[in-house]
Amino acid sequence: MSDRTAAEALRAANEILTLAGIEDPARDSRRLLAQAMDLPPDRLSLHLPDPLSPRAAARFALMIEARAARQPVSQILGTRLFWGHAFRVTPDVLDPRPETECLIAEALAAPFTRVLDLGTGSGAILATLLSERPEASGIGTDLSAPALEVAAANAATLGVAARARFLRADWCDGVLGQFDLIVSNPPYISDDEMETLAPEVRDWEPWLALTPGGDGLDPYRSITRDAPERLSPGGRLIVEIGAEQGAAVAQMFVDAGFVGIAVLRDLDGRDRVVRAEKP
């Protein structure tokens, strides 16, 4: 892609990504070209007539090669926007998704001062909640040590590291004290669904964060079993779910003695979050 203008390199990249089966090749190639040229994405159009420097051309070629191999754009760029913040992402963590903002909105609908984030991954949920509530503190747990390193880095970037603690733990194991808010976006994809996922997800994101195996509901069984002890009276439990899991998870909450149970939908109208309260 050397000895070309940026526009010519962009056209060539679009063709490569189209042949690779990328859903929106123009969008992805523009984002990657802006990064390769060290430009804000909204300034790229102004520089398309410019010659592409050898350094930018080399960077862009590697990025397009990675994207054609179906590596997610967020992993190539190293960041993903979530709730208005840029979060670091790596192959060790789940890519923060827009639909998870439904969980954030529900969590922020009532006050809290102590929050527990189970399966924190990138730390996007915990760091976002603490950034929105300066008086709050919280703990994030995860089985993955590399994920916890990413989470700690994201908490530092958002300026909430002093109020966040990260523990290597299996859900609530080893967590002491009580919280007025417990949140989780656990792995919930069933064995049967894994092969139907897009290559960007199936081949590049950590399976530990995607699927617990079986019917996909085991994390909710663990969380529902342990959360009542960790919640203060009146405390809230909010979890993200798969689109077909609302009824099953809501019933677990009923059986565990929670009240105020509701299944909430995302912007696409799919069941996305289940919330409940401890009496």
Give residue 2's pLDDT band: very low, low, confident or very high (50, 70, 90).
low
Section 220-247 average pLDDT:
97
pLDDT in tens, 115-174: 999 999 999 999 999 999 999 999 999 999 999 999 999 999 999 999 999 999 999 999
pLDDT in tens, 67-113: 999 999 999 999 999 999 999 999 999 999 999 999 999 999 999 99
Rounded to whole angstroms, how far apart are CA atoms 98 and 170?
A: 25
Cβ neighbors of 248 (< 8 A, separation 6 or more) are 217, 220
Q: Exposed, middle or buried: residue 265 (CB in 10 Å: 0-12, 13-18, 19+)?
A: middle
Based on the fold, state whether residues 102 and 215 are members of the same structural domain.
yes
Instruction: Give the global pTM.
Output: 0.93
Total structural domains within the chain: 2
Based on the fold, state whether residues 165 and 55 are members of the same structural domain.
no
Give the model's pLDDT for residue 1: 43
How long a stretch of residues is the chain? 279
Based on the fold, state whether residues 164 and 54 are members of the same structural domain.
no
Tell me what the pLDDT averaged over the chain comes to.
96
Give the model's pLDDT for residue 277: 98
Token pair for residue 147?
Answer: 């994920």
245-252 — which CB contacts under 8 Å span 24+ positions?
245/188, 245/216, 245/217, 245/220, 245/271, 246/271, 246/274, 248/217, 248/220, 249/217, 249/220, 249/274, 250/274, 252/217, 252/220, 252/221, 252/224
Using CA atoms in the order 244, 247, 248, 250, what is the torsion angle rounded to 10 degrees?
130
Give the model's pLDDT for residue 192: 87
pLDDT in tens, 12-43: 999 999 999 999 999 999 999 999 999 999 99
Based on the fold, state whether residues 90 and 10 are members of the same structural domain.
no
- Report the CATH number that the domain containing residue 195 is assigned in CATH: 3.40.50.150
The answer to the question of residue 1 being in a domain is no
On the question of pLDDT at 204 being above 60, the answer is: yes
Based on the fold, state whether residues 145 and 106 are members of the same structural domain.
yes
Based on the fold, state whether residues 116 and 247 are members of the same structural domain.
yes
Single residue among 41, 69, 97 that ends a domain in this structure: 69
pLDDT in tens, 42-75: 999 999 999 999 999 999 999 999 999 999 999 9
Give the model's pLDDT for residue 195: 87
Range(s) of the domain holding residue 141: 79-277
Q: Computed from CA positions of residues 29, 35, 37, 41, in that sequence, does the dihedral angle turn out positive or negative?
A: positive
